Structure formats: structure tokens, C-alpha cells
């Protein structure tokens, strides 16, 4: 085990980004060199080179060991993440690590879900618990953007202390893999031994491994906090490597204390986000339920006065980052099998969105320059379900949709035109 070095760290909060090139390919099926998650995260202190942060680091000799049997807990609960991003028609791939913290939740670093260089959330992630070379003993689950939740503060700031998020799987695979509990932050001791385990994606004499050649590796060491970093950013002396961003750091009781996220360039230290009450509250607050799985969210733009509606939680987070106000759940979407499609259109000249069930109205708007953005959500065909009203503002061309008859009447009094019932929404 490496010697624990007590080091007073310089301030790391003033940072600029040094962004290395990322491999680009034209479609998600193309062969491409995969990058480790966080490869674009290199922070440099503006006053001192000692403030450089990198996403991974070996501390002296590499003391990590390969996990032989990944079907046994806790290794069964550690997941390989194959992350795909899309930006302006181009595609990118990265590798990271996550770990099961419930029957269907995978906790990881925020930068394994959101690429700060591309300024976009991952398009898909292939999650493989207990992956061992090409073997997937518990299966592989491909999740879309809607099943990823990034800490909203990380989307806004990119700060180390905000670098966490989670994936909600479509299956309770944690019943088979088992899942980690959390350590008590107040009981963490510098004398205690912790383990960091994840999926390194690093160069060998033969070159970088194929994605299906990756194995779990673990190392051990100490975990402690420096008063010169935020209260939830801890330092550790456990080896890490590309691909191990998002790895759990756990004690001998298999309680996770922190999420591995960074390394310090000029110190023999790596860094992690402590799993404190803030992280636990985040998990609880953003856990998807049958209700939120069918929610359509409402947002307000204070600059344009437009209301926007989306069933996509990731789109809500991105819009909030851009300055929109989250006004909560507007109504609920029906399933595709049982529902009637609601189409979304966008006017590139005015910046307004419009929503309609009417194919003729959709096609008419497209013919005069609106962009057809496809199906927004599905409405209820049941006459007994709640109604959603549509109103029109003749001054700016804006439409507004509301389930509230009180809001409808207030807008009519303010000069809006009542266009009647637009559609019906399923019961929550």
C-alpha cells in the first residue's frame, strides 16, 4: 500500500479548460478509437501550475490488481459504461465506470454523462454490470438520455464538487448483482483502508484494448479531506487510470464513501466526491417513478415569455441551464400503444414552439417554414380523462396550454383567445 501523504493543496476553483482532440466518426456504427470519460477534463489554475487537475493518475508503481471473478459482490455491482455522444451529426465514444446503489440506479461521475467540451448529455450508454472482457454475466442495458440524470449544478458550473449523476436502468438488475450501501461520512478515518475498483482503458505495449477486452482492476489506499478544497471533495492515494472515472471508493464493509472523479497533477494524490447528504438527496429527489416516467414538464422563458413543454427530463435540465424556469409537471403522457400522438413544431424565425394533434395543421405550418420536430408526447383517447386547454395571444403569436381552468380564465381576461380543449391527458 502506498504511503499516505498529507499535503496542503492550493486553491483549485479558478480554472480554464485545456481540451484535447476527440475522435470523431460519422455514425454510431463506425469503428473508432474510444476515449476514457473525462479525457476532455483538464483544469489549469490561472496562477500556479500546481493547480493542474487531470482525470486519472498512477501514483508511483502500479499496485492495482485484476478482479478474477466479477460475478461476486461487490465486483458484480460495478458497471462498465460505453458512452456515446452526438453533436451536430458527428458521433463520439467514451468509456467510464459506475456502480449499483439500488435495484436499478447506477451512480457515477457527472462527466461520464455530460461532456463539457461538446456541451451535451450522452445520447446512449451501454451499462454492463460485472463486465469481464467480452463477458456480460448480468446482461448489457442500453439507456437513452431520458434515463440519465446529471447534477444540475454540474451542468451549470462544471465544478469538481458538483461532479456526479446517475443512470436509471429499465430493469431491477441490482436484485441479482446486489448493490452498495453508503458509508457514514462522519466515520471516515485516515487510518481506514479503502478500495477503488473500475474499468481502466489504458495503453499497453500492444496498444489500447478493444472495448470487449476490458477488465476490472482494483487498488487500495487511504481517503481524507484537505481544508483547502470544498468540504465534499476528498483526496486519496489509490491508483487510477483512464476509464475509472465514476468508480466507487468503498471500505471493508462494502460501503461506498466517495465517487472517484479527478487527480492532481503535481501531487501524489487523486480526488473524489464524497457521498454526503447532498448526493443522497439528489438521488432521492430525481429517482424516476411511474408518475415521473409519464410526466410532461413545463418551462418558462423569462426573456421571450414562451412556455415550453417536454416529457424529456434531460431536455428540461438543459433548458434550465440555458435560463428557462422549471415550472414543474404540467400533465402526463399516455403510452405510445394507447395514446394519440401530439406533434411539436418550431418556428426558426420567431423561436416559438407549437403543439398539435391535427396532421393538417402540422403540414400547413411546415409548408410555411415551421420545422417538424416529430412526436412530442402521447395524449389520452379517453373522454373521461382531464382536459388541456389551448389559448392564443394575437399580439405575439404565442400559444399556451394549461390543465387549469383558473389559469385559462385569467389569460382570457388578460386578452388571450380561448381556443377550447386541445387534448386530454392521462391520469397521474
pLDDT of residue 3 exceeding 90: no
Q: Is the pLDDT of residue 196 over 90?
A: yes
Mean pLDDT in residue range 20-29: 43
254: exposed, middle or buried (C-beta count within 10 Å: 0-12, 13-18, 19+)? middle
Write down the pLDDT at residue 205.
58
Residue 3 phi/psi, 5° resolution? -70, 135
Residues in the chain: 428
Q: Round the average pLDDT of the chain to a whole number and report it.
A: 83
Q: How far apart are alpha carbons 402 and 292 in whole angstroms?
A: 18
Bridge-based pairing of strands 181-182 and 255-264 is parallel
The grid coordinates listed for 332 are: 402526463
pLDDT digits (tens, 9 = 90+) for 159-171: 999 999 999 998 8
Query: 223 near 272, Cβ under 8 Å?
Result: yes
How distant, in Å, are the alpha carbons of 105, 166, 188, 265, 292 from that of 124?
16, 13, 35, 31, 20
Rounded mean pLDDT, 8-31: 36
User: In the CATH hierarchy, which top-level class contains the domain 15-281?
Assistant: mainly beta
What's the rounded mean pLDDT across residues 353-361?
95
**pTM to 2 decimal places:** 0.66
| Predicted confidence (pLDDT) at residue 79 exceeds the cutoff of 80 | yes
Q: List, for residues 310-340, the tens digit of each pLDDT value.
A: 988 778 878 888 899 988 889 989 988 899 9
Quick check: 345 pLDDT over 90? yes
Cell, residue 13: 476553483
Cα gap 314→145, rounded to integer Å: 6
Q: Where along the chain do its domains lie?
A: 15-281, 290-424
- Rounded Cα distance between 22 and 40, Å, is 8
Give me the pLDDT at residue 341, please: 96
pLDDT of 346 > 50? The answer is yes
pLDDT at 411 over 50: yes
Q: Is the pLDDT of residue 36 over 80?
A: no
Phi first, then psi, for residue 338 (nearest 5°) are: -105, -10
Report CA-CA distances (Å) from 82 to 54, 126, 260: 20, 5, 17
Does the structure show a pLDDT above 70 at 396?
Answer: yes
Amino acid at each position: 500500500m502506498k504511503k499516505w501523504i498529507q499535503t496542503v493543496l492550493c486553491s483549485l476553483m479558478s480554472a480554464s479548460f485545456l481540451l484535447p482532440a476527440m475522435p470523431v466518426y460519422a455514425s454510431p456504427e463506425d469503428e473508432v478509437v474510444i476515449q476514457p470519460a473525462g479525457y476532455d477534463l483538464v483544469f489549469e489554475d490561472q496562477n500556479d501550475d500546481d493547480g493542474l487537475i487531470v482525470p486519472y493518475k498512477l501514483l508511483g508503481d502500479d499496485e492495482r490488481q485484476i478482479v478474477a471473478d466479477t460475478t461476486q459482490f461487490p465486483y458484480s455491482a460495478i458497471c462498465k459504461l460505453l458512452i456515446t455522444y452526438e453533436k451536430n451529426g458527428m458521433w463520439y465514444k467514451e468509456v467510464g465506470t459506475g456502480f449499483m446503489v439500488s435495484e436499478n440506479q447506477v451512480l457515477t461521475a457527472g462527466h461520464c454523462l455530460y461532456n463539457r467540451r461538446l456541451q451535451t448529455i450522452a445520447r446512449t450508454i451501454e451499462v454492463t454490470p460485472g463486465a469481464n472482457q467480452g463477458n456480460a454475466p448480468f446482461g448489457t442495458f442500453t439507456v437513452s438520455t431520458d434515463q440519465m440524470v446529471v447534477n444540475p449544478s454540474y451542468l451549470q458550473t462544471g465544478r469538481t464538487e458538483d461532479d456526479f449523476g446517475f443512470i436509471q436502468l429499465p430493469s431491477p438488475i441490482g436484485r441479482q448483482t446486489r448493490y452498495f450501501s453508503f458509508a457514514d461520512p462522519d466515520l471516515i478515518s485516515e487510518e481506514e483502508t479503502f478500495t477503488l475498483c473500475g474499468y481502466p482503458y489504458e495503453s499497453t505495449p500492444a496498444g489500447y484494448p478493444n472495448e470487449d477486452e476490458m477488465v476490472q482492476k482494483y487498488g487500495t489506499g487511504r481517503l481524507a479531506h484537505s481544508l483547502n478544497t470544498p468540504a465534499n471533495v476528498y483526496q486519496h492515494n489509490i491508483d487510477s487510470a483512464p476509464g475509472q472515472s465514476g468508480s466507487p471508493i468503498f471500505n471493508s464493509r462494502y460501503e461506498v464513501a466517495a465517487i472517484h472523479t479527478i487527480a492532481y497533477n503535481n501531487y501524489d494524490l487523486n480526488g473524489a466526491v464524497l457521498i454526503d447528504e447532498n448526493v443522497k438527496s439528489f438521488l432521492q429527489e430525481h429517482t424516476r417513478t411511474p408518475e415521473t416516467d409519464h410526466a410532461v414538464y413545463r418551462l418558462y422563458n423569462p426573456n421571450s415569455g414562451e412556455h415550453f413543454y417536454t416529457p424529456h427530463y434531460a431536455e428540461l435540465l438543459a433548458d434550465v441551464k440555458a435560463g428557462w424556469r422549471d415550472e414543474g409537471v404540467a400533465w402526463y403522457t399516455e403510452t405510445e400503444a394507447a395514446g394519440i400522438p401530439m406533434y411539436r413544431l418550431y418556428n426558426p424565425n420567431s423561436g416559438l414552439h407549437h403543439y398539435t394533434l391535427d396532421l393538417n395543421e402540422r403540414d400547413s405550418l411546415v409548408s410555411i417554414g415551421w420545422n417538424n420536430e416529430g412526436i412530442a408526447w402521447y395524449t389520452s383517447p379517453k373522454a373521461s380523462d382531464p382536459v388541456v386547454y389551448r389559448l392564443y395571444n394575437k399580439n405575439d403569436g404565442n400559444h399556451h396550454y394549461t390543465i387549469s381552468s383558473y389559469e385559462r380564465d385569467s389569460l382570457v381576461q388578460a386578452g388571450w383567445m380561448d381556443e377550447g380543449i386541445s387534448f386530454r391527458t392521462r391520469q397521474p
